Every structure is written in structure tokens, then in C-alpha cells.
Chain A
Amino acid sequence: MSQPPLVFSFFHLMAWPYLEQPPAAWPVAHRLFDPRRGPRLYGEYLDQMALADELGFDWVGCNEHHYTSYGLMASPTVIGGALTQRTRRAKIAMLGSLVPLNNPVRVAEEYAMLDVMSGGRLVAGFIRGLPQEYIAYGVDPDESYERLAEAWDLILRAWTEPEPFGWEGKHYRFRTVSIWPRPLQEPHPPIFISGGSSDSVRLAVERRVGIGVALASAEIARAQFDSYRALARAAGWEPTRDLFFWDQAVHVAKTDVAAREAFRGPTDYFYRYLLVPTRRANELVIQGGYYHDPADRERRLQRVRQRETVTLESEIEQGRALCGSPDTVVEQIRRWVPYVGHGVLNVRFQVGTMPHDEVVASMRLFATEVLPHVRDL
């Protein structure tokens, strides 16, 4: 069966690259954030996203994190608002608002604003949220699936009900809802959810929406997409690859050696300074009901702990990073796409401490010497 064309999504975490040592724990004290460096940093990150639009990436995307140097977007829709002014063609992929942690009607409203402001370019991620976000906003992680499912229904109604309606839910109660604006896209913007557990895969297949897998090896991504495919087939339909997005860090340089040299430090910073400090908080929440399936729980705990021993080589080998000369990166993409079976390459060029000019150079090289050779895969 013919598959839709590959989608290249330029994704940004908007990390804080100036930590002098790895923080001891999460949350990270925000006196470590120097606001005087902030304007320029956001400026560079938004410039990178605007460039991605220019260079022909299909999507530009970002997400939501709290209380951390890992990502400076407490509200991704605020960035979305900025992106409506800096992009013209690329879809604005909110990957996304943390639905169980926020007011679902407000999520519906913000997404609708972005969709109308951008002329119908929103991709609506309904994201469950990393474990520690549940501590940040004080929501019981054990309720996350239920909340996600109910909020999803409510958001869809908020988008599509012609008349004002009430909602008497288990987790959410509104006597009357009638959002202004409502989205431009009909029937509504496309939806993606995070697909890292068996419960979320099941939910996604039921509702026929796409799933995303992040910070995961090729093995894990493939396993998730395979289980989606199996469930869909059992229900009588064949999912196309554009329902599967997989996140990878990317760096392209003239030679393999140059690429690895440039990417090693940033990768180390990403893990040791940004990600590993969240470990304890993650463990607490994962043990506190974040997963309902024990297998999911075990696997995630393992993944969280393994982060202490990551190397650039293991990243490349396991598919979490694409790194090398243009030819090498083309090879790597050619290897992973059939193996994992994804249709949306969610690629991150700004990693850890990687400075702006290097990110831009890598992006340009990717656009001119990698993209043309992989678009038709």
C-alpha cells in the first residue's frame, strides 16, 4: 500500500544551556536562570524555528515543561503565538499542551486561537506529560489516563458543538461552554497523543489518532508502533505511517568526525545536566500511579536509570540520534524509516549547549544535502 510522504518536523525543547554544574534535583532553583541572557536565547531559538519554515520543514513544533532548565516553555501555546508571526507555511505543531494538567476548555480555546491566527496550520498534541509535571501542577498521576480521555472528549465538543453545552464529567464540570474562537480546520485540527505506554496506544487506536514517541530507541519506537498496528488491524483498519512520529536528535557536519566531535559535548550536557536531575522526581511519580501496566512501569524506570550511562555512540547506535556527514545521515534515515515504520521525523537540532551558529549550519546542511535524498522514502 502506498504511504503518504514523510513529514519532517523541526522540534525544539528550548533548553537552558548555561548551567555550570548538573543540578542536584528537580525542581531546579530558578535563581540559576539568568534572565538577562533570556531574551537573546529565546530570540535565537525562535530564529531557528523561523529558519526551519524557510528551509522547507513541514512542521515546527515544541512542547510544555515546568520548573526545569530542560525546557523553557511552561506554555507551548505562548510560543505558538510567536510562531504565528514567524512562519508562513509550516504547520505549527503543539506537541503539546499537557492536557490532564490544564483546564481542557482553555486548551481548546488556545488551540482554536492558534489555528485561526495561523490560517489553519495547527497540529494539536494532547500530551499526557512527563512524570514530574504531575508534581509541578499538583495532579494525581494515577488519574492521568482518565483525565486525558475525558478532557479529549470535552475539547472535541468545545471545538465542534454548534450550540453552547454543559459538561458534567467525573473530573471536569462546566455548566456552559461556547468557545470563541473555534478552530478554522474542519472538522478540527489533527490530533496526536503521546504513545509511550500500552494504555495510550489503546486509546489512540480507538480514536484513530497519531502517536508520538520521544527519547526512545528505535527498538522501543518500533515496538510501540507495532503494537498500534496490531491493534488497528485487529479492529479492521490499516494505519498509515503519518500516524507515527518519532523524536531524534540531529547533527550534520561536513564529516562524520566533525559531526561527532561537535555533538558529543551537547549530548553529554543534555543528559547529565538537563535530564538526569529529573530522575528522582520521575521515579517518585512513576511509582505513584503514572503507569497502570506494570510492564510499562518497569520499562520506563529502567529507561530513566539508563540515562546515567549514555554515550554519543550508544545514542547513534540505538537511533536516538542522527549524527554524521550528510551521506551518513541519509544512510541512517534510510535505515530507520523502514525499520521503525514512522512517517513523521521529529528532529531536534538544538541540543544541550549547541550554539546558535552551529545549529543553523547543521540545519542548512540537512536541508540542502539530506532532505532531497530522503523525501521520497
Chain B
Amino acid sequence: MNKVVIVKDLKKYFAARTQMAALLSGRPSGVIRAVDGVSFDMGHGEILGLVGESGSGKSTIARVLARLEEPDSGEIWVDGQRISDLKGSGLKRFYRQVQMIFQDPYESVNPRFRVYDVVVEPVKVQKMAPRNRRGDLVIDALKRAGLKRVEEYLPKFPHQLSGGERQRLSIARALVVGPKVLIADEPVSMLDVSIKAGILNLLKQLSRVYGMTIMYISHDLSTVKYLCDRVVIMYLGKFVEIGRAEDVIDQPRHPYAQALQAAIPIPDPSHRRPRAALRDIREARSVVLEGCRYRKECPRAMDACRAIEPVMRPVGEDHLVACHLY
């Protein structure tokens, strides 16, 4: 089956600038290995969830896939074309294929642009339509993003819109170029509960109805389960588990994935969630160079974990885990 996005052994490192970062990387020269060798693919119309806590590297993967940063090594193919070293006009064409929406609805839109200007900008830059046809593209994109009575929105400024409306505006801007791939970096984290679902349902619809391939990044397993077909769990720059959403979230195998799942509070008062033992969470996590990165916090660490880095192994149909327990 043709995969829309293929990523092989992607690495992205950052130079550490502060003492704290040097502590985190465990190396005196101070390099943060934000993404340290990940591989995955995404099929047409698939929604892939990328889950991890802050510092896991998930946003970095998003930015590298969006070519806002260049990868340090590894290969990325989108729709059969290698994008890792695109520049100039090639990069501009790439942005017709891949778009991104961001976490903060307040910061994702230029406060000086009206709604119309925000959505028409990519149309102008990409020279997608002559002047008299641009308005149609804008209105169509805003409608597809779920805004009603679109004409009323066009002259408004972002500060006149609610958080949910602003997020839909960002989505309209992303949709207007007709991309195949949408990268959604925590699109609902900063929205109120009562409007999260609207955006999530919209993303679902984009994938089911328009066949859009979506990468959904989040730290919130509950929304990931609702939205995604497959899920990847990340820890300190590496993938630890990948598989179908129901499998990974309901029956996680990797100890870190299990800890994450067990820590999520449940809105049902009658459900007694078993609480994990109180531990001093070592917050300044140093990246371990040999063996498994999770071994310092893993309740089931073994000798092998110190020596050998685990690789992804299948534990079920379409379900892989990187852990020596399997």
C-alpha cells in the first residue's frame, strides 16, 4: 500500500545553551537529542497520534516534518518525494502538500490581519488564483473549517473571535491550499472542554471525507484515543510503542506507556483507579547513552536494560514495542 508519509531513522539534535540543558543531555558538550532515530509511516486518510510528555521530542518531529527545521540525519518522503533537503521553489511546492496547525489559538494568527487576509495569504503567495477568484477559495476554506455565516467573519480581526473560532481560522488557512497532510500540534490543548470536540470532530471529518492524512500530537491520551487510528508513544526522543489506538491505549505494553495510561484521571466517580506508588520523579532527566532510556524510572528494569538499547519488536498484530520484556 502506498504510504503518504515515510520517515526513516530521523534525528534532530539541538545545541544546549544553558546549564540546565547540559544537565538534561548528560553530555558535557551539551547536545539535546530531541529526536534520536525514529521511523514511522502514515497511510492515506490515516490519523496517527503522537503522544509524549514535554521534552519527549514530539513537537520537534512535527516541526521537522513541516520543514520548519532541517533534520540532522534520516530520510523523509512525502507522497513519494524526498523532502529532507528541499529548498527554494521545491520547498514552496512542498507547502501545497503539507500544512500545520498549532497549539495556541491566540498566537497562531497575525493579530494585524483580518480573517480574510489570514486565509488569502497562502493563496496569494502560492499564486493559486487570480484576484477575482481568491474570495471563493477563502470562503470555501472557512466553510470547510466549520465556520457558519462566513461572510460575517471576513472583516473581523482575530481578537474579536473566540478561541475555538480562531482555531478554525488556522485550520481554514491550512486547508485553503488543499494539502494532503495536516500536522496538528496539540490543537485542542488550550481550548475549553466544551469546544474541544468540535475541532476533534472536524479533524475526523477531514480524514474520513477528504482523505487527509493527519498527524495529531498531544500529551492527552483521552483525545488521542477518540481521534486516532494508530498511536505512537514517545519517550526522550525515541519511540517506545506503536500500534492501533485501542491496543496501545487500552492495553499498553511498554512500562512507560503503562505508567502514562495509569496516571490519567477518569471522570467517573465510581471508578477506583489504582494509583501508582509514590516516587520521587527525577525531573531533570538525563539522557542515558547506553541501554534503554527509561531504565532509571522503570519499575521493571533488568540488567539487559543497562547494556543494550531495545529495538521495536512486534507483540501483536500491527503492534510494536521497544522493550526487553518482550
Pair from one complex: no
Interface residues of B (CB under 8 A from A): none
